[in-house]
Every structure is written in C-alpha cells, then in structure tokens.
Amino acid sequence: MALNWETVPLLPLRCIMDHLSTEDALAAMSTCRHWRNAMMLYEGRRRTFEMRAKHNLEKNLFIARIFKRHTRSLHVYLDCNETELEKFMNLVLPQFFDSAKLQEVIFIGPSYIQQSHHVPFVKLNRVITESLVFKHLRNLQRLQFLGCRLNTLHNENEVYAHKQIEYYSRPLNISSVQTPADAVLSSGNQHLMQYSTLKHIAVDYEQINTTALMTLAHLPNFEYLSLNITHKKQPYQEIDWPELQLVFRKPLLVTVNIIGVPIRRFSEIMVKVLVSNITLISLKVMFCKSLYTPLLSHVSRVYEASLREVVWADSPHDSLDPYQRIVRPLRHPHPDTYAHVNPFVLLCWQCVHLQRLVIHGYWVWQYDLLGFVRLRKTLSHLEISAIYSKQDRYSHSIQMSEEGSVRVMCGDPPSDVDADFVQEVNEYIDFKWTPTPIAGLHPAIRGPCSAATRADFMLHEAKKPDWPRINM
C-alpha cells in the first residue's frame, strides 16, 4: 500500500486537497511521506475555518499552519478549561496573524455551547486578541464575542511577553487597570481605530456600556451592533443612547438577539433595552419557549420605520399533554375566535420595511400567512415551518391562549398546504415561496436536540449578512 501511495505524483495533490475533509487529509498524511511533504507545500483554501480548543491543541496548531493564509472567516469554540485556553491563545491563535484577508472573527464561549446561564463568561487574552484585531486593521469587518470577554492584564510587562506580538503586531497601548471604556476594545488604541475597516461588532448585553460604545465610536466604519441577551441573573443596565447619538456620525443599526430568556424578564427588556432611542433593524428571539405578544406589539409600535427582520424560533414542545400546546392561558377565555388576532399580522401591518420573517415552533393558520404577504409586500424572505389549513383545527386552544397562537408539539403531523394556496401566496410577493419541508429545517427546530445543535442554529443566524441602511 505504501508503494501505491508513493506512486501518486505531487502535482495534482493541490486539486485533491480542495475536496478532502480535515480528517481525510490527516489520515492520508499518517500513511505516506509524500502526502506529508505535499501538505507542507499546500496552502489550504478554506474561507470559513472552525476550530475547537478542547483536546485538540496539536491538531489545531497543524491545520492552522495549513489553512491560515486564505482564511476569511474564523470561528473559535472555547468549551475548554483554563489551561487549554491559555495554550490555544498563546500557540494557535497567533498563527492567524499571517492570514491575507481575514474578514470575520467569532469567539463562542462555553455558555453558548452548553446553553447554560450558570456558566460564566470565558476570559480571552486581551493582548493576543486585540493584536489579531489590529493586525488585520484594513481587512477585518466583523468581530463577535459570544459568551466571552477580554481579560485584564496582571501587569504592564504582559504586553511584551509574546514574541509573536513583537514580530507581527502593531504597537498597542493596553492598560493593566480595567475601566468600563475598555470592555470591548482598549480605549488606549484610538489612534489605530481610525484606520480600521471594522463594521459589525456583536457582544453580550452584560458586557457593553455607554463608555465602551464611545470608545468604539472612533471606528470610522462601525455601524452595526448586535446585542445578545441571555438569561443572566443580574439586572439589565441602561445605555445612554441620546449621548451616543451626539458621538456617532450616523445612528448605530442595532440587532437584539434574545436567547433562552424566561418570559418573566421580557418586560424588563422592553423597558431597559428596547428603548425608543435606538435604530432597531433586527429582533431574534430564540429558544425562549414562549410567545409574548406585548413584546411584538412594543416592537411594532416603536420601530415601525426601521425594523427589517423578525425571527421567533423554538423547538417543538416535547410533551404529551395537550394543555401544553397553549402558550399562555387566558385568565378570562374569550369565546370569539376572531378576537384572537395573530400578533405577527399586526407586525406585518405596522412595520413598513419588514423584509424577513421567520417563525418556528408555533402553528400559523394559512390565511394568517396570506395576511402577512398581503399587508407587507416588501417581504423578501418568509420561513414558517408549521402551517395548518382548517381554522377549527386549533380553535379551542387558541381561544384559551393569550398569544393568538399555539405551540408545535413533537407528535404533530406536518403542514398541510395545497398547491393552490401556495400559488395564491406567490401572487402577492416578488419571490417564489414554498413551504419549508421538515427535512429542510435546521436540526435545532426539527425536534428535541442538544445544546450544541441549538448553538449551531444561533451561529447560523449570527452569520447572516447585514441589512443595508435605509434613508428615513
């Protein structure tokens, strides 16, 4: 077998490697010396590169050397202990200083991977992380910290403790005294920020504050801010948006992602986060296990001129109790079915620039769907996984529900939409709409799934392209 491998010429290996997975390439290298030599000469072209810091140090170090040159988007999963994290940050991450056009960096912490609010935020090495950001000053456009934050230096000498930083990075001014202004990027590097191409920053809401955003105002191209709200015990702090409007050249376009938050905290989010001074372009509520009409009404009323996208996604409810289909029981059930208006109908009616609507985990009557497209012809993406045709199918449950909608249960039959109705819907929109089959759904919204699968769905949503600014 070794002789057969050695007869393979080196020239076509570059073509072969483009179609091999990482595991296949490593297996081939362990078999033949010629493959090992070829891989050392090969510059892998993998634009989106994912790395997991847990138990994979040698593998990560090796494949980082192969694919670092042409990587455009780097996703780092940090579900590891402190020792593994330190080795990864010191040995593997500096390899990407050599990337030619690194445009996106996403750090995913263990609280997102495990979907647990009991897991604390992981602390990233500030020197190496900021050095990576400023090394790609003229290319990097998106930076996301999901369940992560930058640490505080123990002393000033820590800035000069890494040879990679000394050789490859720009001179940075990082203080060993932690201040609120340094929550995302160090305020001492404002002289470098003015040359940055960074456009989109995503952070957890607990990690942001007014002074940190004033630091980021020195980024000339910064216009998209994603705020991730998870179920943490501390109260949500308020941001002084009127003061920030005086600092930024244009209002920030804000995306709010509400992830796994119990419904009892939604009113606090409405008061402290979803205030009238922000330009909200996207609202995504994922895996909160409930609908909340007051939140949708609030968003429709306050952001009717700016909202472009709404995603409300839950997994099918895993229960055999039919009473669990009711989202929030009414205190005084109303006998009139028509009094229970689907809250998304009002959303489509009021939000004049709405373009993307995604609903998973809740049944939608087909004529409510028809109302969506008739009321809002600006829709360019419509994704609804559960549609029923007969109004009396869930009428009793809807009469008892305060939200005008009912949950999808694990044992429910698939949607029953006929071709004539699909054709009728397509008469009102400028794109071809078809019901999404169950096989085409992400595993996180197909049924009961693991925390890692739900994290993958959230990352899938986080990678969506930014909406262009509208002149209002």
Tens-digit pLDDT string for the chain (472 aa): 444 545 555 545 555 555 666 666 666 666 666 666 666 655 667 788 888 988 878 888 888 888 888 899 999 999 888 899 999 998 999 999 989 899 999 999 999 988 888 888 999 999 899 999 999 999 999 999 999 999 887 655 555 555 555 555 667 787 778 888 999 999 888 888 999 999 999 999 999 999 999 999 999 999 999 999 998 878 899 999 999 999 998 999 999 999 999 989 999 999 999 999 999 999 999 999 888 888 999 999 999 999 999 999 999 888 777 767 777 655 544 443 444 578 899 899 999 999 999 999 988 888 889 999 999 999 999 999 888 887 666 665 555 555 667 888 887 777 778 889 999 999 999 899 988 888 888 999 988 888 889 999 999 998 888 888 877 6
In a domain, 374, yes or no: yes
Look at the chain and report how many structural domains it folds into.
2
Q: Measured between alpha carbons, how far is 326 from 347 in angstroms, rounded to an integer?
A: 21
The CA angle 290-342-362, to the nearest 5 degrees, is 40
Strand-pairing partners, residue 145, are: 107
In a domain, 51, yes or no: no
Between strands 362-365 and 406-407, the pairing is antiparallel
pLDDT for the residue numbered 338: 41
- State the DSSP string of 314-348: -PPB--S-GGGGBSSB-SS--S-GGG---HHHHHH
The CA angle 146-284-114, to the nearest 5 degrees, is 40
Give the 3-state secondary structure percentages of the chain, helix then strand then coil, rounded to 5.
40, 15, 45
Q: What are phi and psi of 52, to 5 degrees?
A: -115, 125
Structure tokens at 50: 């994912």
pLDDT, tens only, 338-381: 445 788 998 999 999 999 999 999 888 888 899 999 999 999 99
In a domain, 259, yes or no: no
Sheet holding 406-407, edge to edge: 387-388, 362-365, 406-407
Helix (H) or strand (E) holding 256: strand 253-259
Treating both helix axes as pointing N-terminal to C-terminal, what angle do 343-350 and 293-302 enclose, rounded to 10 degrees?
10
Helices (H) and strands (E) in the chain, counts: 19, 16
3-state SS class at 148: strand
pLDDT for the residue numbered 344: 92
In a domain, 252, yes or no: no
Neighbour tally for 268: CB within 10 Å? 13
pLDDT for the residue numbered 41: 59
Q: Measured between alpha carbons, how far is 91 from 227 in angstroms, rounded to an integer?
A: 30
pLDDT for the residue numbered 356: 96
In a domain, 142, yes or no: no
Neighbour tally for 81: CB within 10 Å? 11
Structure tokens at 441: 């759904």
Q: What residue numbers bound the domain in which 448 lies?
A: 302-472
The residue among 401, 416, 413, 266 whose CA lies nearest residue 325 is 401
Contact 319, 409 (CB under 8 A): yes
Hey, which bits of 332-452 come out as E strands? 356-360, 362-365, 381-384, 387-388, 406-407
In a domain, 200, yes or no: no
Return all residues near 390 (Cβ < 8 A) that are at least 6 apart. none
- pTM for this entry: 0.87
Structure tokens at 111: 């609280």
Q: Which amino acid is at 54?
A: K
Buried b (16+ CB within 10 A) or exposed e, 136-149: beebbbbbbbbbbb
pLDDT for the residue numbered 176: 74
Handedness of CA 38, 39, 43, 46 (dihedral sign): positive
| 217 burial level (CB within 10 Å; 0-12, 13-18, 19+) | middle
Return all residues near 34 (Cβ < 8 A) that are at least 6 apart. 5, 6, 8, 10
In a domain, 459, yes or no: yes
Given its phi and psi angles, is residue 434 left (phi above 0), alpha (psi -120 to 50 degrees) or beta? beta
Contact 212, 184 (CB under 8 A): yes
pLDDT for the residue numbered 70: 86
Q: Measured between alpha carbons, how far is 463 from 73 in angstroms, rounded to an integer?
A: 10
